[in-house]
Amino acid sequence: MNIQRPPQQITLFDLDQTLLPIDSDREWGNFLVKLGVVDRHIYESENERFYKEYVGGVLDINEFLAFALKPLAAHPMKTLLSWRSQFIKEVIQPCLRPEALDLVSMHISKGDLCCVVTATNSFVTRPIVDLFHIPHLVATEPELKEDPSGLVFTGKVKGLPNFQQGKVFNVKNWLNGLGYDLSTFSQSTFYTDSMNDLPLLEIVSNPIATNPDLRLKNLAIERSWQMINLFQ
C-alpha cells in the first residue's frame, strides 16, 4: 500500500499588501464605483473609512462585510463573474510582482503545503490565488443560496469571518479537514503585513512580517521576528 506522507512544512500567506502591493477588497470596491454599479459618493467614502479602520486595527468586521457583500447580492452571478474577470485583468494582473511570485514558487517547489489566508472574500480572491498557483485558500466565505436562476449570493457570511482570531479558527478547521493540525509539520510559516494577523502569527513557528505596517514592524523588532519587504 502506498501511503502518502504529509508535507514536512506548511506555509501560509496573507494576500493584500503581502503578496499584492494593493488591497484587493478595497480595489474591488473602487472597481464597482468605476463601473457605475454603486453610488460613487457613498461607496467611495465608506470604502475609505473601512480601510482606515482596518489599518488602525479598529475595524468592525461584521459592519464591513454587510457593506462589502451587499453588491454581490444585488446582481446575478453571470454578471458578477463577468465583472470579476475584467477586474482581474485590469486591476490585479498589473499588480503581480516577480518578488512575490518567486517567493511563492520557492515554497511550492520545496513541497510545502501552501495556502492563502485572507479576510477578503473568496469570490474576489479565488482567481487571484490561482494566479499564484497556490492550491489552497482560506477566506471569508459569502453565503450562497439557490433560486430559480441558479446560485446567488445572500449578502451574508457563511461561517466565521476570516479576520483576526477567525483566521486561527478557520485555518485549524481547514487543516482538520485534511487530517492535519499545525503540530503535524516540522515548521509552520506565516507571511503577513498586518498587525490584525497577530493571532495567527503567534501560533506558527516561523512568523515573518512582510511589508509590515508600523505596528507590526515595531512588534517584529521587539520579538526578533524576521522581516522582509517584497515591494520597495
Does 19 map to a domain?
yes
Does 79 map to a domain?
yes
Structural domain count of the chain: 1
Does 13 map to a domain?
yes
- Residue 39 is a catalytic residue: no
Each residue of 134-156: pLDDT tens digit?
999 999 999 999 988 889 999 99
pTM: 0.95
User: Among the options 16, 25, 112, 193, which is catalytic?
Assistant: 16
Does 67 map to a domain?
yes
Secondary structure tally for the chain: helices H, strands E: 9, 7
Residue 23 to residue 132: CA distance in whole angstroms: 16
- Residue 14 is a catalytic residue: yes
Instruction: Give 160's pLDDT tier (boundaries 50, 70, 90).
Output: very high
- Decide if 158 contacts 173 (C-beta within 8 A): no
User: Among the options 14, 25, 112, 193, which is catalytic?
Assistant: 14
Residue 103 to residue 118: CA distance in whole angstroms: 17
- Decide if 100 contacts 230 (C-beta within 8 A): yes
Find the mean pLDDT for residues 129-138.
98
Does 2 map to a domain?
no
The per-residue pLDDT for 149 is 80
The per-residue pLDDT for 41 is 87
Question: Which neighbouring-strand residues pair with 189?
Answer: 11, 206
Find the mean pLDDT for residues 211-229.
97
Does 4 map to a domain?
no
Residue 6 to residue 180: CA distance in whole angstroms: 8
Sequence-distant (6+) residues with CB within 8 A of 104 are 13, 19, 114, 132, 133, 134
Q: Give the percent of the chain with pLDDT over 70.
A: 98
The per-residue pLDDT for 75 is 95
The per-residue pLDDT for 4 is 58
pLDDT at 32 exceeding the cut of 80: yes
Does 3 map to a domain?
no
Instruction: Give 1's pLDDT tier (boundaries 50, 70, 90).
Output: very low
The per-residue pLDDT for 58 is 94
Does 26 map to a domain?
yes
Find the domain containing 28 and state its range. Answer: 9-228
Long-range contact set of residues 152-155: C-beta below 8 Å, sequence gap at least 24:
152/73, 152/76, 152/77, 153/69, 153/72, 153/73, 153/77, 153/80, 153/123, 154/73, 155/66, 155/69, 155/70, 155/72, 155/73, 155/74
Each residue of 44-84: pLDDT tens digit?
899 899 999 998 999 999 999 999 999 999 999 999 999 99
pLDDT at 6 exceeding the cut of 80: no
Q: What is the CATH classification number for the domain harbouring 201?
A: 3.40.50.1000
The per-residue pLDDT for 79 is 97
